[in-house]
Amino acid sequence: MIHRDATLIATGHRIKHLWYIDSVSCMSDEACAKLKVTLPLWHQRLGHVNEKRLKTAIKKRLIVGVDVDKHDTDVAIPFCEACVQSKQTHKPFTGSADVQSKEILQLIHSDVCGPMSVGSLGGARYFVTFTDDYSRFSYVYFLKHKSEVFEKFKEFHAEVTNFTDNRIKTLRTDNGGEYTSFAFEQYLKMNGIRHEVTTPHTPQQNGISERLNRTLQEMAMSQILHAGLPKCFWADSIATACYVRNRLPVCPLNVSPFEKWYARKPSVKYFRVFGCVAYALKPDNERTKMDARSEKLRFIGYPLRAKGYRLYDEKKHRVIVRRDVIFNETVFDTNPVTYPSDVVSVSTPATDDNAAEQSEPQSHDEGDEAQSLPVSQPVRRSERQVRQPDRLGEWIEYIDTDVDFAQTTEYKHRLYFCNVVEPKTIDEAMKMPEAEMWKQASDEEMLAYSTMNT
Ligand SMILES: [Zn+2]
């Protein structure tokens, strides 16, 4: 039941022709009052951002759309369990964070992180980031194999050079084999891009990537813990973390990467708490007269090319993008999400093909998420997910219906997600508790390379 002002009053279920109100989920009068937007809520919406950074962003008006009472910005954010659990290590960063370039795309930092302890919904095990040194704007892509880094770099290259009209001058990476293949080196040469390789064990040279990877992992972990979602949502959480991080002021710029990149302040008005329960209006052709008007889903991020929200439908094991959504940001569902056996992604058809600006869901700025807007056309399951790469987006994930989720469950309890330590040698890998996983990852890499070469 939804009030005229879009406030959720109660939820219910239907048995034959009768509707039963769920007494447990029926909110009290007090709770029915519109959720007061407080600083702790913004802390959650913005990827569990550190308190000082959040307050700076609000007070200095570096982000648009944060509607908290003025005196609210002076109070301390209460204890947040998700933050404490995800930020266990407080080792200081040894790497330099200084800006070493004079214009956008002069220097790009890149690093690969993984393999993750579990596969993502789309079967990814790694993520790669490309960060522009000047603006600190980051792109993240998800990979099944490290060998896909080259493809992702080509996509990134095409997109950013098209968007900015600048050329990438230098790519700085560690000495990872994924960057030093013959094909990759040739591509860089042909495009006049200098490949700068940092010396092993000198993190001061690789400070930007090191810092970013840790930030993204911590933010993602906080979001997942707070929402009580299984770890297979790590890619969605990392993507959301990257999306959020681009919009928050970063050291040493003191503005957001978004502002440096797009030359305007980012709006965060439409941001919601990752993983919370979301009610999406069903498209007319998906419901009969007696059906509920909305379906109960979980909010798992922001699509880049379409306007709306990415939502996970547990019943049908699919990811959909919808614009008409009502959120309950304090509820993360009493039934934990189970491991899906099959995932189908349905995304709003791409509207236009120009300007990266369109990857920003600007419609949200007008606060229209509760109004009736055209919704995405459903894609029949039989069409099998063929989502084209979000070339204009910050992240891409291919959802594959053939993902083996049984494997995912197997890893659930014995492996970790945060602070992935990548062994340098096979011997080192075999001594780690995750030896079996490393072996499998290495076998997969070998297979991927040999398939590429045949
Ligand atoms: Zn927190």
How many angstroms does the Cα of residue 82 sit away from the middle of ligand 1? 5
Q: Which two tokens stand for residue 288?
A: 């009969």
Question: Which protein residues have a CB closer than 5 Å to ligand 1 (ion)?
Answer: 48, 80, 82-83
Please answer whether residues 434 and 117 qualify as being in contact, where contact means their C-beta atoms are separated by less than 8 angstroms.
yes
How many angstroms does the Cα of residue 330 sit away from the middle of ligand 1? 13
Q: Which of 18-32, 34-48, 259-273 has the lowest mean pLDDT?
A: 18-32
Q: In the prediction, which pLDDT does 207 show?
A: 80
Average pLDDT over every residue of 250-257:
89
Q: In the prediction, which pLDDT does 208 show?
A: 87
Average pLDDT over every residue of 154-175:
94
How many angstroms does the Cα of residue 48 sit away from the middle of ligand 1? 4
- Kindly indicate the confidence band of residue 427, based on its pLDDT and cuts at 50, 70 and 90: low
In terms of Cα–Cα distance, which of 419, 47, 407, 370 is closest to 227? Answer: 47
Average pLDDT over every residue of 26-31:
40
How many angstroms does the Cα of residue 50 sit away from the middle of ligand 1? 8
Q: In the prediction, which pLDDT does 92 show?
A: 64
Higher pLDDT, 72 or 78: 78
Residue 287 scores a pLDDT above 80: no
| CA-CA-CA-CA torsion sign (258, 301, 127, 393) | negative
CA–CA dist 363, 322 (Å, integer):
13
Q: What is the mean pLDDT of the chain?
A: 74
Q: In the prediction, which pLDDT does 414 show?
A: 22
How many angstroms does the Cα of residue 43 sit away from the middle of ligand 1? 6
Range with top average pLDDT, 195-199, 203-207, 260-264: 260-264
The model's pTM is 0.70
- Tell me the pLDDT tens digit for each residue of 49-71: 999 999 999 999 999 999 888 77
Spell out a b/e string for 319-334, using b for 16 or more CB atoms within 10 Å of the CB, else e.
bbbbbbbbbbbebbbe
Q: Which of 262-276, 410-424, 432-446 has the lowest mean pLDDT?
A: 410-424
Residue 102 scores a pLDDT above 50: yes
CA 156 to centroid of chain Cα atoms: 17
Higher pLDDT, 257 or 27: 257
